[in-house]
Chain A
Amino acid sequence: MQKLRRDATGASLNAVGVAAITAPRRRKERRFKLLQFQAYAFILPSFIGLLVFSLIPIVAVAVLSFFNWSLLGQPTFIGVQNYAKMFSSSAFWHTLLVTFYYVLLNIPLQTILALLLAVLLNQNLPGKGIFRTIFVVPWMATAVAMGTIWQWIFDPQYGSLNTFLALFHINGPAWLSSTTWALPAIAAVNIWQYTGYNMLFFLAGLQGIPSDFYQAASLDGANRFEQFFSITIPLLTPTLFFVLVTDIIGSAQVFDTVYVMTQGGPGKATNVINFEIFQQAFEFFHAGYASALSMVLFAILIIITLIQVLFFRSRIVYDLS
C-alpha cells in the first residue's frame, strides 16, 4: 500500500489522495444542498398554511386598525384615530387592568397546583393512572356546557358553593353578580379547567430528571425539601418556561368562560380585553377599533414573552453536573 502523505488537517495529498478528498467533498456539498432543499420542502406545507391563514389575516388586521369599518360597506381610512381613542379611553385601561388582574389570579395558583399534583403523582402510587386521567378530565369539557354548570354552582341562592359554605356558617357572596368576586370566580373556573393539563407537562418534566441526582443528594444527607429546591426546581426550569410562556399567552386571551358566564359584567368587572375586542367587532361593529385593540394586545404579549425569555435565559438548567 502506497504510504499516503498528509497535510495539516490530516487529509491525504497524493494523487489518489486528492481524488479521495474531492469526491467526498463534492458529495458533501451536494448532500448539503439537498438537505437545504429538503428543509425548505419540509417547511413549505406549514408555511403555506401560516401565510394564507395566519400571516395575511394578521397583516390585514394591522392594516384595518387604521380604518373605520362596520363590517358592512367600505372601510374608511382614519389614520391613528383608533389608537388615539384607545389610549385616551379609561374603559380601555380598565380592560387592561382586568386582564392583568385575571392573569395574576390565574397563573401562579394554577402553576403551583399543577406542579404539586405532578409531584404527588410522580411517585409509585397505586391508582396513579386513574388520578391522572381524572385531573385532565376538566380540560376536555366544552366551555358552553361547563360554563353553564359553573353558573349553577356559583348561584348565590341555590348554588352548591354557597350551600357548602353555609355548612360552616359562612354567608357566601353573590359571586358572578358581585363586582368583587366575579373575576376571581372566572379565574377559579379556568384553574379548574387547566390545572390537569399543565400537570401533564410537569409530570413529563419530572420524569426526565434522572434519579441518580436524588440518590446522591440523600446520601449527602439532604432531606426531601432540600432536594426539591436544589434538584427538582432547577431541572424543571425548561418545562416551567414552556408552561409559563404558553399559559400567559393563553390566559391573557381568555374569552369562552367570560362569554358564557358573565358577558363582561357585572358592570365591567370581568371585561377582559379579548371580550372587549369581540364586542367592539361583533356587537358594536367597530371592526377597525377592535383591530387596533388586537394589535395592542399582540404588542403586550410580545413584550411579556420577551421578558420571560430574558428572565429564563440565565436561569434555565439542562444539566446539574
Chain B
Amino acid sequence: MTSVSTEITASKAGARTKQARPQIGHVTRYAITYIILLLGVVVSLFPYLLAVLTSLKESNQIFSGAPWTLPNPLTFQNYVTVMTQYNFLAYMWHTLLFAVIVTLGQLIFSTMAAYAFARIDFPFREQIFWLYLSTLMVPTIVTLIPLFLILRTLGLINTWAGLVLPYVLGTPFGIFLMRQFFLTIPKDLENSARIDGAGTMQIIFQIILPLSRPMLATLAIVTFVPAWNNFLWPLIITNTDNLRVLTVAVASFSSNFGTQWGPLMAAGFITLAPLLILFFLFQQHIVRSIHLSGFK
C-alpha cells in the first residue's frame, strides 16, 4: 500500500511532495506540544485537586483515608463553617481593601518615579536608582524588627495606616519594572510633544499612560496577588479581628488544637478564588503587553 502511495506522491510535482512531508511533521509537533502542555496541566493542578477533595470531606474521613480518595459523603459543610462560624466575609473585605489600596499606590507612585528615572535627566539619577534596587537584596525577616519598632513609635500598630504604609508609596520592584518599560517608548513621541509646548503632566496622561496600559495591568497583577497573599506583615502588624486578613485567618486553622484540615482547605480555596477570577480577566492584557518592556 505504502509503495503505491509514495509512487503516486512522487509522480506529482515536487511541490506536492514537499507539502506532504511538513504536514506529517506538523502533526507530530502539535502532538508533542500538547502532550507536554497537558503534562504541565496535570502537574500544576494535581495539588489543587487534593485540596479540593479534602475540603469536601468530613473530618473523620480526612483522618482515616488516603488524601486522594473521593469524598464519601461529599459535604460542603467545611465551606459553610468557614464562612459562618469564622468572620471570613469580613476578612475577605479587609484583604481586598488592603490589596486594592496597595495596588493603587503602587500604580500611581511607582509609575511617577519610574518616569522620572527613565525620561528625566537629573543629578544622581543612576545612584539613587541603584539605591532603590539594592534594598531588594536585604532579607526582610530582620528588617521587620526595626520596621515594627518604627511603626510602634509612630503609634501605628494595628491600624490601617500601619498596615499599608510600607507598600503604598511604591516599591523598588514596581519602579524597576515600569522604568524598563518606559525606556522602550520612543523618545521622539515625547520630544515632538514638548516642542509643541506640552507639559510633563500632559505628556504623561496623553502619551505615556495610554501606551502603558498593558504594562500597568501587569504591575497591578504582580502587586495585587502578593498583597492578597501577604502573610508575615499582617501577622506582625495587626492583632485584632477588625483588621485580620485572609492569610492570617487561614493560618489560625492550624492552631494549638491540631489542624482542622477540612476547613483549612476550604478556607484556602476561598482565599484563592477571587485571585483566579481576577487573573483570568487580566491575563490578556498582560501577555499582549509585557513584550514592550524590552528590559533594557
Contact = CB atoms under 8 A, between A and B. Distances in A.
B280 interface: yes
Interface string A18-52: 00000000000001001110111011011111101
A38 to B, nearest CB: 5
Contacts of B30: 125
B293 interface: yes
B100 interface: no
A31 B191 CA distance: 13
Nearest to B144: A57
B141 A274 contact: yes
A281 B271 CA distance: 30
Contact of B132 (A50, A60, A196, A253): A50
A132 interface: yes
Interface in A274-300: 274, 277-278, 281, 287, 290-291, 293-294, 297-298
Interface string B131-159: 11011111111111111011000000000
Report the interface size class on chain B. 35 or more
A123 interface: yes
A55 interface: yes
Contact of A274 (B44, B139, B194): B139
Contact of A58 (B135, B254, B271): B135
A159 to B, nearest CB: 8
A53 B147 contact: yes
Interface string B261-290: 100110110011001100110011011111
A272 to B, nearest CB: 11
Given A46-B113, A140-B229, A141-B272, A146 B47 contact: yes
Given A117-B40, A145-B268, A149-B51, A281 B293 contact: no
B175 A281 contact: no
Contacts of A60: 143, 145-146, 149
B295 A242 contact: yes
Given A46-B112, A139-B225, A158-B66, A57 B147 contact: yes
B41 A134 contact: yes
B294 A149 contact: no
A123 B294 CA distance: 20
21 contacts: A39-B116, A39-B125, A53-B147, A57-B143, A57-B146, A58-B138, A64-B142, A64-B146, A131-B41, A134-B45, A137-B44, A144-B231, A145-B267, A145-B271, A204-B286, A204-B290, A204-B291, A207-B287, A208-B293, A290-B141, A297-B139
Given A49-B171, A52-B150, A133-B279, 16 more contacts: A35-B120, A39-B122, A57-B144, A58-B143, A60-B146, A120-B37, A133-B283, A146-B268, A148-B264, A192-B43, A200-B286, A239-B295, A242-B295, A274-B141, A301-B137, A318-B294
3 smallest CB-CB distances across A and B, nearest first, come from: A204-B290, A49-B169, A145-B268
